[in-house]
Amino acid sequence: MASNSFFLCHVLVMFSLASMSLSSSLSPYFYNHVCPEALQTIKRVVEDEVKQEKRMGASLLRLHFHDCFVNGCDASILLDKTTTIDSEKTAFVPNNNSIRGFDVIDKIKSRLINLGGPTWEVTLGRRDSTTASRTTANNDIPTPFMDLPALIKNFKKQSLNEKDLVALSGGHTLGFAQCFTFRNRIYNETNIDSTFARQRQANCPRSGGNSNLSPLDPTPALFDSKYFSNLVSKKGLLHSDQALFNGGQTDNLVKTYSTNVGTFSKDFAESMIKMGNIKPLLGNQGQIRVNCRKVN
């Protein structure tokens, strides 16, 4: 597949170019004439940021996911708290003290203004929301503690099916998780490899160390299929990860992805497109924010 940094550019364009659009439809060619250097500019910024901190790739992917699951892909997650904005950044379990990458978005926005993984075509033309909802973020973003029925129901609410659930969960091939999100799993659950559990306990005590990080799979800086191989071996870090391979209806798909990275990459790209098209604001809906973090 293409480099992880280039693959992430397709995610970041959702945020960075949303503030430059006025159209009633989405198109992958929306900015060809009005901002022809946009994609290359985004690519350069993301590559630089990921070179400086490999974890940033996973953080940007997560930022996009968490935006789309709250009232659609409208950049509402970028809004800071004000007297009238109940910022999604402080949603307790999914976002508070864990969601990151906002400075990268600001940098991309600034570079675009100055202009005057698998890859896929991103349909462009989204506008920005004028509101945010911490309550909706708490209710709609899936948590690391969910079992399979809850995950399926959560994704179905966004018009995403079981294949989308498994494929998009594969985004955990990148990045790390904080101790508090997997402590109960490594100390109390039985569907876990005992050696793997002991290894994770070394960096995640029964009390304290809530923000200690552990990789979500053995190669947290590479987009590969080892996340799924881990699940088959009962080495899923999060409860919600292992729930995908625990005797349920998603087991077969996990097995397929664990041995066929090509199929996983193809399905991941298709599911990213579906997720990126959740309730976009078009035409005169929303606004074009001057500052990504504030309503005009």
70 is in an annotated binding site: yes
Residues annotated as catalytic are 66
217 is in an annotated binding site: yes
pTM for this one?
A: 0.74
Structural domains of the chain, ranges and CATH numbers in brackets:
4-141 (1.10.520.10), 148-273 (1.10.420.10)
173 is in an annotated binding site: yes
With CA atoms as reference, report the closest residue to 268 among 50, 113, 118. 118
74 is in an annotated binding site: yes
Phi then psi dihedrals of residue 93, to 5 deg: -75, -50
Phi then psi dihedrals of residue 51, to 5 deg: -65, -40
pLDDT average, residue stretch 118-147: 81
CA distance 258 to 250: 12
The token pair at 33 is: 């004439």
Place of tokens 């809530």: 210
Is pLDDT larger for residue 226 or for residue 32? 226
251 is in an annotated binding site: no
CA distance 166 to 7: 19
**pLDDT per position as a tens digit, 206-254:** 999 999 999 999 998 888 999 999 999 999 999 999 999 999 999 999 9
**pLDDT per position as a tens digit, 77-113:** 888 888 888 888 877 666 566 678 888 888 877 776 6
172 is in an annotated binding site: yes
